[in-house]
C-alpha cells in the first residue's frame, strides 16, 4: 500500500513536488485517462494548478493529498471550495488520479476518504464531483463512498470525434 501525505507547503520542496505531479498527470493523460485534458498538460500548467490548490490549502479553501510508493508519487487528489459567495459552503472534488500500475490497491479510495474527511473538518456541506460517463471504476468508487448521481449531461465531453456523458455527483455531508 502506498503512503498518503499532504503536499509540502515550504518553497524548498515545492518545485520537486510540482515536477512529480506533472510527471504523474501528464503520463496519465498520455495514456488516455479522463482527467479533463486532451493532451498532456505542460509543466507550467501543472505548476500553476498546484500553486493555486496549495494557496487554497493555506487559506482553508482546499485540501490536497498525495500517495507515494517509496519516493515515487503514485496518486494525488484535491478538492477546492467554490469561489462564488453563495456557493462557499460547498466544494468540488476536482481530481483523484492514480498511476495505472497501482490501480486496484485501494489508493484511490484512500485518497478520496482522506479528502472527504478533510471536507467534513472544514465544514463543507456538499462535496460535488463530475466524472466522464465511461469511467465506470471511478463511478463505482464514488458510489461506494456515498456519492449520488444528481444529473447527467449526455454527450457533453468531447474527445476528438467521440462524445461521453458528464456525470454529476454529490455527497451531502450535512447528514
Ranges 70-74, 125-129, 170-174: which has the least confidence: 70-74
Q: Residues 34, 90, 62, 129: what is their CA dihedral angle, to the nearest 10 degrees?
A: -10
Query: Are the C-beta atoms of 5 and 66 separated by less than 8 Å?
Result: yes
The cell numbers describing 53, all together, are: 490548490
**Could you read off the pLDDT of 42-70 as tens digits, one per residue?**
999 999 999 899 899 999 999 999 999 99
Q: Are strands 91-98 and 3-5 parallel, antiparallel or unpaired?
A: unpaired
The number of beta carbons lying within 10 Å of the beta carbon of residue 132 is: 19
CA distance 29 to 104: 19
pLDDT tens digits, 85-118: 999 999 999 999 999 999 999 999 999 999 999 9
Stronger pLDDT, 16 or 119, i.e. the higher one: 119
For the cut 90, the answer to whether the pLDDT of residue 8 exceeds it is no
Q: What is the pLDDT of residue 16?
A: 80
What is the pLDDT, as a whole number, of residue 131? 97
Mean pLDDT of 140-166: 97
pTM passes above 0.85: yes
Q: What is the pLDDT of residue 128?
A: 98
At residue 120 the predicted structure's pLDDT band, cuts being 50, 70 and 90, is very high
Amino acid at each position: 500500500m502506498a503512503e498518503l501525505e499532504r503536499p509540502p507547503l515550504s518553497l524548498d520542496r515545492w518545485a520537486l513536488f510540482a515536477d512529480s505531479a506533472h510527471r504523474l498527470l501528464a503520463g496519465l493523460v498520455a495514456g488516455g485517462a479522463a482527467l479533463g485534458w486532451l493532451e498532456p498538460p505542460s509543466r507550467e500548467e501543472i505548476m500553476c494548478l498546484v500553486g493555486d490548490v496549495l494557496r487554497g490549502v493555506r487559506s482553508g479553501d482546499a485540501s490536497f493529498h498525495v500517495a507515494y510508493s517509496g519516493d515515487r508519487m503514485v496518486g494525488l487528489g484535491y478538492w477546492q471550495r467554490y469561489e462564488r459567495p453563495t456557493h462557499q459552503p460547498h466544494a468540488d472534488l476536482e481530481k483523484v488520479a492514480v498511476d495505472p500500475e497501482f490501480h486496484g490497491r485501494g489508493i484511490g479510495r484512500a485518497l478520496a476518504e482522506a479528502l472527504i474527511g478533510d471536507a467534513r473538518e472544514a465544514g463543507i456541506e456538499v462535496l460535488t464531483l463530475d466524472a466522464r460517463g465511461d469511467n465506470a471504476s471511478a463511478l463505482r468508487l464514488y458510489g461506494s463512498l456515498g456519492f449520488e448521481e444528481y444529473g447527467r449531461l449526455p454527450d457533453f465531453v468531447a474527445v476528438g470525434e467521440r462524445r461521453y456523458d458528464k456525470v454529476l455527483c454529490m455527497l451531502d455531508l450535512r447528514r
